[in-house]
Amino acid sequence: MKALLDQNNFLKPPKAGDIVEGKVIAKERGAVFLDLGPWGSGIIYGRELKEAKDTLRNLKVSDKLLAKIVELKNEQGYIELSPNQAGKELTWEQLRQKKEKGDVIQVKITGANKGGLLAEVSGIPAFLPVSQLAAANYPKVKDADSGKILKELQKFLGKELQVQVLDLAPKAGKLILSEKSKESGKIRELLKKYEVGQIVEGKITGIVEFGAFIKFGDDGLEGLIHISELDWKIIEDPLQIVKVGQKVKAKIIGISDDKVFLSLKALKKDPWEGIEDVYKKGDKVAGKVTKLNPFGAFVQIADEIQGLCHISEFGSQTLMEEKLKVDKIYNFEILEMRPAEHKMSLKLVE
């Protein structure tokens, strides 16, 4: 705010766009006049008067007021002023300072859409994206169904949240908020007592299409178990392995800034260990097709062992889909074994 006002010191004449401070010298039905010192008199009228009516209503003669210069000199010789524009500009400046300092502000949620929550900060519309919600408020919706996400977000209408300014663009009128950023420092401190490889016990708090959230420790920290870390076998739905409220033990496999990643399968016996004693290159095996992708077919050879019959073995996806059907059993030949990478390449035996 001080930087904006310093533009208008007595060492240089004001210009359009500057914010100046003046003293009210007269209030009329259609105008308010301000004394701007050595620079003459200012006037607020027309659209600017209408937009600032709430601000001007209780203003008395001799009161001081901040306003933005709209026009340096009009036909009547007055400097045209806008209190409303000055207020917005000063508000943006205050928000910029809050962003730099990391100040926490409290906002009331006024609306919701599929992307996040809507709020207002000092009269400026603001947006709180889903990705910037604190872990406790993140909508843990299975299959990332947008309708279900919106339903969860609508529960916040009328509630107040503590947030920080994540990003702002005054010219575009964009103000982005973050709830989780205010927790980042605290979470980083709490995570210092944990390390990769440590085993923790917790409770599944939510399930989404890409994995499951687990709350662990006395401090209520929450981490993610990615779908690929739930089990050694390939699964399509995390609900095949865990349920909300279930207590589990998990291994910390990664800590990055204020995020922690865990694994259930790391505590289970690796089914690929010693597989070379059971299967070898050139072996003929029976397998059930579990999934068809543009790059090939996944084939279940044993309970937790799946191989890939690459699309190149068929020539095209259409030909592959003609020859293979999901849940059907076919005979395959093992072309390559890479146990360390948990990979097995197969060829259809016709």
pLDDT of residue 171: 81
165 and 216 together in one domain: no
The answer to whether the CB of 200 falls within 8 A of the CB of 146 is no
Per-residue pLDDT tens digits for 158-211: 999 999 999 988 888 899 999 888 777 788 888 889 999 999 999 998 888 889
Q: How large is the C-alpha radius of gyration of the chain?
A: 32
Boundary of a domain, candidates 267, 289, 318: 267
The reply to whether 90 falls in a domain is: no
Boundary of a domain, candidates 123, 158, 183: 183
Per-residue pLDDT tens digits for 45-55: 888 778 777 77
Provide the residue range defining the domain that includes 106.
99-183
Sequence-distant (6+) residues with CB within 8 A of 140 are 205, 206, 207, 208, 213
The reply to whether 91 falls in a domain is: no
241 phi and psi angles, rounded to 5 deg: -115, -40
74 and 138 together in one domain: no
15 and 61 together in one domain: yes
Q: Are strands 211-216 and 199-208 parallel, antiparallel or unpaired?
A: antiparallel
161 and 137 together in one domain: yes
Sequence-distant (6+) residues with CB within 8 A of 127 are 115, 116, 117, 118, 119, 174, 175, 176, 177
Distance (Å, whole) CA 209 – CA 143: 5
- The structural domain count of the chain equals 4
Is the confidence at residue 254, as pLDDT, over 90? yes
The reply to whether 94 falls in a domain is: no
pLDDT of residue 42: 84
| CATH for 209 | 2.40.50.140
Give the angle 131-137-141 at the CA atoms, nearest 5°: 75
pLDDT of residue 6: 52
pLDDT of residue 2: 47
pLDDT of residue 24: 86
155 and 202 together in one domain: no
Distance (Å, whole) CA 346 – CA 306: 10
pLDDT of residue 1: 47
Output the six-digit token pair for 220: 């209520």
Per-residue pLDDT tens digits for 296-337: 999 999 888 999 999 999 989 999 999 999 999 999 999 999
In this structure, of 7-11, 146-150, 177-181, 244-248, the range with the lowest mean pLDDT score is 7-11
pLDDT of residue 299: 95
Boundary of a domain, candidates 28, 58, 85: 85
In this structure, of 15-29, 59-73, 136-150, 152-166, the range with the lowest mean pLDDT score is 136-150
Q: Please compute, for residue 335, the number of CA atoms within 13 A of its CA located in the half-sphere on the CB side.
A: 13
Output the six-digit token pair for 103: 């100040």
CA distances from 254 to 26, 53, 126, 212 (A): 67, 57, 33, 15
Q: What is the pTM of this model?
A: 0.59
Give the three-state DSSP class for 203: strand
157 and 200 together in one domain: no
Output the six-digit token pair for 139: 């909508």
pLDDT of residue 290: 92
pLDDT of residue 306: 92
Per-residue pLDDT tens digits for 266-292: 999 899 888 988 999 999 999 999 999
Per-residue pLDDT tens digits for 83-142: 877 768 778 888 888 888 888 889 999 999 988 999 998 888 999 998 888 877 888 776
